[in-house]
Amino acid sequence: MKPYSNLKKDELKKELDTLLTEYKNYQALNLNLNMTRGKPCIEQLNLSMGMMDVLNSSVDLTCRDGFDCRNYGVLGGIDECKELLGDMIEVPKENIIIYGNSSLYVMYECVSRSMTNGVMGSTPWSKLKKVKWLCPVPGYDRHFAITEYFGIEMINIPMDNNGPDMDMIEKLVSKDESIKGIWCVPKYSNPDGTTYSEEVVKRFARLKPKAKDFRIYWDNAYSVHHLYDDNQDFLLEILDECKKAGNPDIVYKFTSTSKISFPGSGIAALATSEANIKDIKNQMRVSTIGYDKVNQLRHVRFFKDLNGIKDQMKKHAEILRPKFELVENVLEDELKGLNLAVWTKPHGGYFISLNTCLPIASSVVDRCKRIGLELTAAGSAFPYHKDPNDSNIRIAPSFPNLDELKMASKILALSIKIESILYLLK
Amino acid sequence: MKPYSNLKKDELKKELDTLLTEYKNYQALNLNLNMTRGKPCIEQLNLSMGMMDVLNSSVDLTCRDGFDCRNYGVLGGIDECKELLGDMIEVPKENIIIYGNSSLYVMYECVSRSMTNGVMGSTPWSKLKKVKWLCPVPGYDRHFAITEYFGIEMINIPMDNNGPDMDMIEKLVSKDESIKGIWCVPKYSNPDGTTYSEEVVKRFARLKPKAKDFRIYWDNAYSVHHLYDDNQDFLLEILDECKKAGNPDIVYKFTSTSKISFPGSGIAALATSEANIKDIKNQMRVSTIGYDKVNQLRHVRFFKDLNGIKDQMKKHAEILRPKFELVENVLEDELKGLNLAVWTKPHGGYFISLNTCLPIASSVVDRCKRIGLELTAAGSAFPYHKDPNDSNIRIAPSFPNLDELKMASKILALSIKIESILYLLK
């Protein structure tokens, strides 16, 4: 088929009629499909059911250093759990704090603490006239929601295949003391699936921000979340780079087991310098006596070590890979040669990111919704939900089954075609 | 024995010699006793081991409304868990939010949220020149640590057997808009074991603070933590009283299962009005996707209903009661008639609160520490660790075994006698 832009008005109208008939056929099916969030599917959840067996009433719940995990105490997490997650994200256990079930919460808390009590003795951000934040786009909507909640002004930073625009970041942070942080998903980024290049990581580690309390929020959400055995992205470990660069305190690195074990019942962790850990623990010991150590122990006993996690991730990949490929193939089949959209083919993570060539993302998402396919709201990948090009659509293929995914992808492609023609006919 | 205050100087000196010999004998034992915190003992922890069995790999982890507890979602907690904790603290499930493992954290978060984002649209407290807080004393050190961390000025409120001084509270809150809250442990209070009278609860419910964003932080930590079957304190349910009084939004009520199931791995909850819940959820949905639902389900499946919790609490009481009575008896035996100290005989909770008649609490605690008995630091029950009378010592009898407790209580009594004489001889 020829690109729509090469068609004449009456050809477009004829095509539109065909497409609308197809659309009506879907409408008649009363579908209820959901591709909004990066939610693991049931088969993935089943991979961790063994975790429900490793602890039982005849198992000793004492951790390695002799502490009874059932009782109060052990503020930063049990040693063997720090080691397990440390191995996973390539950080010594001394640099790890284990939290509750949500790394998002850990990030929220870091911003919140900085607002009320500053960073390593700096002025609390709530006492400043203005606090700004850098946001590589497209990015993770829940990150942007946190900074928005605290009234922090967000600045878009363009991304390319190597990561965010480092020239722009270096320039901005070096002269503006009100810029206090940046959101990064450095590996298999949400939604683009981009992994930051070595050069980008090194430039991050060497940043010299004017604000001494500037922190890189390094959300390593997909550190081991590969889709392929043979085609994996590599990310340079940033804490070590920062140390080498004489910049050890500039980064907070976050991780969790949410998409490794159970999404709601995993464990989250923060990795950072000793000085940051000391600073954070001053707050931590005020706010809690400790996080759920039984669940920490459960994870350690189930996974045993990094190899246990890697094995688990291979099983996740076997379930996810066909889903990603199905969506990619349907989009390819349906949209080939039409010049209507481009999309990513990530090597890991949870999303396919699609960009329409015309500014029609929100009408495409609406059109899908009207016949029972829910997609992440258009604009979600941008601060304040404002996609300057109204172009980005995030596709989350993990939860639906293959049949649902096939139909969903067809509906998405169909809606892109319809809305493109409607736009061209305007 | 006669009261020390009636003894002559040389009689006191002679008595001191005898006591110091006894003290040296303890010293030779190289003891390591700890009565610092309200930590359940191993026998208590063992009561909940069945909780490790109720979920296993052949159990369906779907909750009542069909939601898969393993996955993301369900922000405010699963329905059956809200019901269980609601029944426990006499509040409808609609008024409950389930959190993670620590009610202390929930309180911390409430203050933190109010600092950064205000209460139901009020000015964020961090934007105010001054924020003050009422602190019934003696009280819970970790409460005071939270308000201190946020730079909130704390005002001591005296307590008697009915609860805090309501005249003083009513007067203060009615005229000072900078007073934003009050810490309360209304049942079996920490450390005094006091339960607020009906009149006190009703006066709390009818408070008319000048600050519209004033909240009563009602830490119902010991709601079902009775020591006796037949001699239980009764606390009027405050949410309902507030509603009746046309003051529905004035209270945040906190609870947790920390001293019911496992202290580090329980579930915490907040109970409050619908309007407050709506306000809090605006923050909650920014900070997390949800708390650990598998653990919520685990608690529901283990306890089943309120009767399950009550049965469990009877078993806790059977372990704790002899410990409390032992301490009370040793103190009675050792200090009878000497007029050196008074102490509580609570019907529930986790502490015995002792007040020395002379201002010697810190030297008593130091003296105990020097021969291997660790007590909560003197002054801990007061804001800024300042006990105006240097008199209060908090005794936590739950963790040590009976032999240890007997020795610890004797050492405590001995140290009180020694320090009293040293004070009188000054």
Cα A389 from chain centre = 21
CA of B57: which chain A residue's CA is closest?
A: A49
- Cβ contacts below 8 Å, chain A against chain B, sum to 170
In chain B, the percentage of residues whose pLDDT exceeds 70 is 100
Q: Which of B45, B100, B287 sits opposite A101 (nearest CB)?
A: B100
Task: Return the structure tokens found at A377.
Answer: 């709201």
pLDDT digits (tens, 9 = 90+) for A162-207: 999 999 999 999 999 999 999 999 999 999 999 999 999 999 999 9
B128 touches chain A (CB under 8 A): no
pLDDT digits (tens, 9 = 90+) for B115-131: 999 999 999 999 999 99
CA dist A14 and A19 (Å) reads 9
Q: Which of A181, A244, A240, A186 is nearest to A212 (CA)?
A: A181
pLDDT digits (tens, 9 = 90+) for B120-171: 999 999 999 999 999 999 999 999 999 999 999 999 999 999 999 999 999 9
Q: Which of B52, B68, B295 sits opposite A45 (nearest CB)?
A: B68
Contact B68 A50 (CB under 8 A): no
pLDDT digits (tens, 9 = 90+) for B17-67: 999 999 999 999 999 999 998 999 999 999 999 999 999 999 999 999 999
For A307, the 3-state DSSP assignment is: helix
pLDDT band for position A380 (cuts 50, 70, 90): very high
pLDDT digits (tens, 9 = 90+) for B332-389: 999 999 999 999 999 999 999 999 999 999 999 999 999 999 999 999 999 999 999 9
Average pLDDT over residues A210-226: 98
CA dist B263 and B93 (Å) reads 23
Contact B100 A100 (CB under 8 A): yes
Q: Which of A55, A145, A264 sits opposite B293 (nearest CB)?
A: A264
The pLDDT score that the predictor gives to residue A2 is 81
Q: What is the mean pLDDT of chain B?
A: 97
A341 touches chain B (CB under 8 A): no
Contact A45 B71 (CB under 8 A): yes
| CA separation, residue A352 to residues A108, A184, A325, B173 (Å) | 26, 18, 10, 55
Closest-CA distance, B86 to chain A, in angstroms, reads: 22
**Sequence-distant (≥ 6) Cβ neighbours of residue B199 within 8 angstroms:** B162, B166
Helix A79-88 and helix A306-335: axis angle, to 10°? 40
pLDDT digits (tens, 9 = 90+) for B224-256: 999 999 999 999 999 999 999 999 999 999 999
A145 touches chain B (CB under 8 A): yes
Contact A286 B102 (CB under 8 A): no
The pLDDT score that the predictor gives to residue B2 is 81
A48 touches chain B (CB under 8 A): yes
CB neighbours (10 Å) of residue A165? Answer: 18
Closest-CA distance, B146 to chain A, in angstroms, reads: 6
A290 contacts on B by Cβ (under 8 Å): 102, 264
B59 touches chain A (CB under 8 A): yes
Task: Return the structure tokens found at A284.
Answer: 């931590």
Q: Which of A109, A145, A263 sits opposite B72 (nearest CB)?
A: A263
Entry field: residues in chain A: 426
Task: Return the structure tokens found at A92.
Answer: 């010594």
Q: Which of B184, B181, B182 is nearest to B192 (CA)?
A: B184
CA of A142: which chain B residue's CA is closest?
A: B286
A49 contacts on B by Cβ (under 8 Å): 57
pLDDT digits (tens, 9 = 90+) for B280-301: 999 999 999 999 999 999 999 9
The pLDDT score that the predictor gives to residue B425 is 95
A147 touches chain B (CB under 8 A): no
